[in-house]
Every structure is written in structure tokens, then in C-alpha cells.
Amino acid sequence: MNFFKNILFFPISQIFRFFSSLRNFLYDSGIFKPKLYKSKIISVGNLIIGGAGKTPTVEYISRYYIKKKIFFSIVSRGYKRKTRGFIVATEKDNSRTIGDEPTQYLNKFSNYSKVMVSENRNSALEYCDKNGINYVIMDDAFQNHSFKKDVDILISSYNRPFFNDNVFPLGMLRESRYNAKRADIIIFSNCPNDMGIEERRDFITKSQKYSDKKAPILFSKTEYLNPVSLFGSKLFNKVVVISSIAYPNKFFDFINSKYEVIKKIKFDDHHVYKENEILSIIDILDDDISLVMTEKDAVKICEFSNLLDPYSVYYIPIQIKFLFKNKLSEYI
């Protein structure tokens, strides 16, 4: 079966690879030139289609800047928002106007940063230059060559490392694994707590077949924090769990280890919830059953307070921690 799948998908994969290689060539050869800005720009991105752990990495850098008392901006495309163009987010915005991840950043860091969304990242960078914002975290920009980056961070999941993957649709990569050479830093996310030295060395060796050998390679794990209430004052042991992140299995496994799961519902990545879906979920809830979700889901679900206010609804925040005594802050 895999043999015939490879034959079928190989030509399509080569087309994807050709266009990404052409774009890279146009910039690498100097035919197209990236724009230069005054701000220090840290890009956080990935090779894979879908999630790899960019959001908690952006939050890690944000907390580092806050600790250093640095005012900064976070710039995102605002995936699946219902608006278009350049927006500087305010307290009036929500996931429908700026997207789920920017809303999460806005809720957490609005006192210390400007959160912006734009399909054209240069619009946001021009705003930062004009308004004296000297530090920019660019969310999901590894494939964007239109501006000069000071630090280009590549995130790759431990469970699906880029060095074992292929260009879509043969695999899940947006471009060739050889383009990892552009990364100034590589981070393997979602690593197990007990990852050993030998496995670390193996990951580094395999990565350096494709990356710049000078680029530090770091390893992070996901830590699940205490549940936070959206609605209700008690989290019950029986739960319905929902998720609209790209790869939710680890989250589901964590919930299974802590609670009695009545039902598990997976939606597409960045799913925009509809009222009829919320009503279907409510049909499963009871006086002793809570609804539990990721933080990225919570910024969308909270918009249905008129329906969910009588129920017990919680989300689980996460943060990353680096293994082997390494710290990303040492390199940014």
C-alpha cells in the first residue's frame, strides 16, 4: 500500500518542493532582497504543516522579555480570523477578529507588548519601526524571506522529527528538510522527561546532516499547569475533553491520566466553533461532568458564555521547560 502511495504522491511532492526551492533560490541568489528593519526580529517557525510547539515557544520568549523589562511586539498571520489586513490588537478583539493564538498572546501579554496580525508581515514591521518597538517575535515565519531576521528558530516535534519526514503529500513538510540549514537554533519540542544522553546525541547527529553545524540544538518538554476555570467553581473528576490543536494526542493522554474521560472530541486545527457544536457538547454534560480543553480552545469557547456559564468549564495551560540544563535565553 505504501509503495503505491509513494508512486502516486511523489510527483505532487516534487511540485511542492520545486516551488519552495525556487522561492529560496530567488532570495539566496540576491534576485529578491529581504527588507531590513531597526527592530531585533526573532522568528519562530517550523518545517511541518500544522503544530510543532511554536506557541509555547513564543510565550517563553515573551516571558524572557518581560523579565528583562523589554517592551516587544508579537506578530502573527492570524490564521482563520474573519478579518483581513493589518490589525494592532486591542481589548475589543477576539479570536474571530485576530485568530486564536494572537488572542491568547493578547490575554497574557497586552501590558508588556503589542500583538499584531497581518498577512503581510512587513506592514507590522514598518509599524514597529515607526513606533519605536525594538524587539519583535515573529510567529510562524520560517518560510518568510521578505525581511531580515536576527534569530531564526526552527521548532520540530520529538514525535515527528524533520530529519525523518518528507515534503507534502509524501510527508508533512512544507519544504525540504535540507532547508533546516537556515535555522540559527533548532528546538525539538514535546520531548519525554526521561530522554537520555544517547538519544539526544542521535537527534543531534541526524539533524546536523541537514542543518548548520554551528546552530545549537535544544530539547524542550511540555509541562501541564493547574486547570483554570472559564466557568464554574469546581472541576469534577468526570470530564468531556475537546481539542482543536493539530496534534492533540499528548494532551488527551494527559487528561486520561488525571480524569475519567466520558467523551473525547477532536476538531481540526484552529477550528472555529459554532453554536450547534457547543449545544451538542452541552447535551453530554451533567451536574458532575466538566468540560476540559486546551488554552487555545478556551479563547474561542469563552465567546459562548451565554450557553456555558451554568456549567463547569476549565482549560489546561502549558509551558515549556528545556532539558539538559540548556536555556533558549542563552541564545537570543
What is the full DSSP assignment across 103-151? Answer: HHHHHHHTTTEEEEE-SSHHHHHHHHHHTT--EEEEES-TT--SB--SE
The two counts, helices (H) then strands (E), for the chain are 10, 14
Could you tell me if 58 and 146 lie in one domain? yes
Could you tell me if 195 and 272 lie in one domain? no
What pLDDT score does 1 carry? Answer: 54
- Residue 254, domain extent: 228-316
What pLDDT score does 9 carry? Answer: 67
Structural domain includes residue 152: yes
Q: Spell out, as residue ranges, where the chain has pLDDT lower than 50.
A: none
Distance between alpha carbon 215 and the CA centroid of its chain, in Å?
A: 21
Kindly report the CATH number assigned to the domain that includes residue 262. 3.40.50
Could you tell me if 202 and 262 lie in one domain? no
Rounded distance between C-alpha atoms, residue 279 and residue 65, angstroms: 41
Structural domain includes residue 76: no
Could you tell me if 149 and 184 lie in one domain? yes
Structural domain includes residue 64: yes
Question: Taking a C-beta distance cutoff of 8 angstroms, is the pair 127, 88 a contact?
Answer: yes
Could you tell me if 246 and 303 lie in one domain? yes
pLDDT in tens, 23-63: 877 787 888 899 999 999 999 999 998 888 999 999 999 99
What pLDDT score does 304 carry? Answer: 97
Could you tell me if 234 and 312 lie in one domain? yes
Structural domain includes residue 128: no
| Backbone φ and ψ of 78, nearest 5° | 80, 55
Structural domain includes residue 107: no
Could you tell me if 284 and 191 lie in one domain? no
Could you tell me if 139 and 41 lie in one domain? yes
What pLDDT score does 51 carry? Answer: 81
pTM, entire model? 0.93
Could you tell me if 60 and 150 lie in one domain? yes
Could you tell me if 58 and 143 lie in one domain? yes
Structural domain includes residue 115: no
Q: Strand, helix or coil at 163? A: helix
Could you tell me if 296 and 172 lie in one domain? no
Hey, what amino acid is at 199?
E
What pLDDT score does 13 carry? Answer: 72
What pLDDT score does 178 carry? Answer: 95
pLDDT in tens, 194-206: 999 999 999 999 9
What pLDDT score does 285 carry? Answer: 96
Neighbours of 306 (CB within 10 A): 8
Average pLDDT, the chain: 94
Could you tell me if 232 and 191 lie in one domain? no
What pLDDT score does 223 carry? Answer: 97
pLDDT in tens, 41-51: 999 999 998 88
Number of domains in the chain: 2
